[in-house]
Amino acid sequence: MSFHLDTPSKVSIVEVGPRDGLQNEKTPLTVQDKVTLIDALSNTGLRRIEAGSFVSPKWVPQMANSDAVLTSIARQQGISYSALTPNMRGLTDALAAKADEVAVFGAASESFSQKNINCSIEQSIERFIPVIDAAKAASVPVRAYISCVLGCPYEGEVSPQAVLDVSKTLLSLGCYEVSLGDTIGVGTPKKTSALLSLLLSQLPANKLALHMHDTYGQALANVLIGLQHGIASFDASVAGLGGCPYAKGASGNLASEDLLYMLENMDIDTGIDLQKLIKVGHHISVKLDRQNGAKAGRALLA
């Protein structure tokens, strides 16, 4: 078995800690706490930061202050601060708060779509169309998240074809990138590779990102498979912020520090300063009174 490791030489990381991470932390943060976190992240070299969500506060109270957060951060040139916008109301608020980028979020599993956003996959796409159109009219790029691409907490297996169908639809509507979410972290290298092989037979690698959860410790191995397929955009959460709502006590998001440690030591350029990122991860872990979920963070701070 002769093997040669081939990966992109440059990778873009989307820091999702302030949104996807904090949304799943039990300790609520004030506007100022969130602004402090985002401003610190802005000084690490990150170029894409998910800063908030304009979802009804009835559903996601942790994100009720996204408006104030987005208007209070010290914006830096070259950094895109993004926000989730499930509908027109959310988009209007996000644009008013000057989000540089917005995101819609769908699923590859019908049951998850119903339970998470109360509609079928098809209905969710119908809802996204005016949001995407209005964002484009305002010259604001739209990213798309697809949940449950490697498994669903309600259905179990999810067909790669379903992921391909939703991805193609969202890209054809004008989303610039699809972030493939392993929402419950059940992906392993073989499944991830099979999914990417199918998607990349019809879609270019630069339209896809991976959003891996580390619930079963598999996230970085899956990222490695993504790199080997030519994927060069990955979501991660500083200090591994966020848990898994489907398995209490389990870990959730891949920690940005662990991802960056791997990329940096593979000579893959990200533009991010690992030492600075580790300090941010340490501070937010102390603030939230939780264990730092980044192993590279814990080791380098030891």
Which residues are catalytically annotated?
Answer: 244
* Binding residue (CB under 8 A) for a second copy from 95, 119, 198, 262: 262
Contacts of a second copy in 265-294 (CB under 8 A): 265-267, 291, 294
**Closer residue to a second copy in complex, CB, 171/262:** 262
Burial class (CB in 10 A: 0-12, 13-18, 19+), 156: exposed
Task: Pick the stretch among 121-129, 160-168, 215-223, 281-289 that binds a second copy (CB under 8 A).
Answer: 215-223
Binding residues for a second copy, total number by CB under 8 A: 49
* DSSP structure class, residue 16: -
| Distance (Å, whole) CA 59 – CA 39 | 26
Long-range interactions of 285-293: CB distance < 8 A, separation 24+: 285/239, 287/29, 287/33, 288/25, 288/27, 288/29, 288/241, 289/27, 290/25, 290/27, 292/239, 292/240, 293/239, 293/240, 293/241, 293/251, 293/253, 293/255
**Closer residue to a second copy in complex, CB, 94/278:** 278
Q: Is 5 in the site for a second copy (CB under 8 A)?
A: yes
Q: Is 177 in the site for a second copy (CB under 8 A)?
A: no
Minimum separation from the CB atom of position 152 to a second copy (A): 15
| Distance (Å, whole) CA 125 – CA 108 | 12
CA proximity to 264, closest of 49, 10, 44:
10
**Closer residue to a second copy in complex, CB, 78/249:** 249
Element at 146 (helix H, strand E): strand 142-147
Minimum separation from the CB atom of position 98 to a second copy (A): 35
Burial 184-221 (b: 16+ CB within 10 A, else e): bbbbbeebbbebbeebbeebebebbbbbbbbbbebbbe
Minimum separation from the CB atom of position 39 to a second copy (A): 26
Q: Is 78 in the site for a second copy (CB under 8 A)?
A: no
List of residues 6+ apart from 188 with CB closer than 8 A: 218, 221, 222
**Closer residue to a second copy in complex, CB, 237/251:** 251
Q: Is 74 in the site for a second copy (CB under 8 A)?
A: no
* Bridge partner residues of 177 (DSSP): 143
* Binding residue (CB under 8 A) for a second copy from 189, 206, 287, 290: 189
Q: Is 95 in the site for a second copy (CB under 8 A)?
A: no
Q: Is 26 in the site for a second copy (CB under 8 A)?
A: no
Minimum separation from the CB atom of position 244 to a second copy (A): 7
| Distance (Å, whole) CA 125 – CA 106 | 8
Minimum separation from the CB atom of position 92 to a second copy (A): 38
Task: Pick the stretch among 29-37, 56-64, 67-75, 246-254 that binds a second copy (CB under 8 A).
Answer: 246-254
Minimum separation from the CB atom of position 301 to a second copy (A): 8
Q: What angle do CA 77, 62, 174 make, to 5 degrees?
A: 50
Residues forming the site for a second copy (CB under 8 A): 1, 3-7, 185-186, 188-191, 193, 197, 205, 214-218, 220-221, 223-225, 228-230, 244, 247-251, 255, 258, 261-262, 265-267, 291, 294-296, 298-300, 302
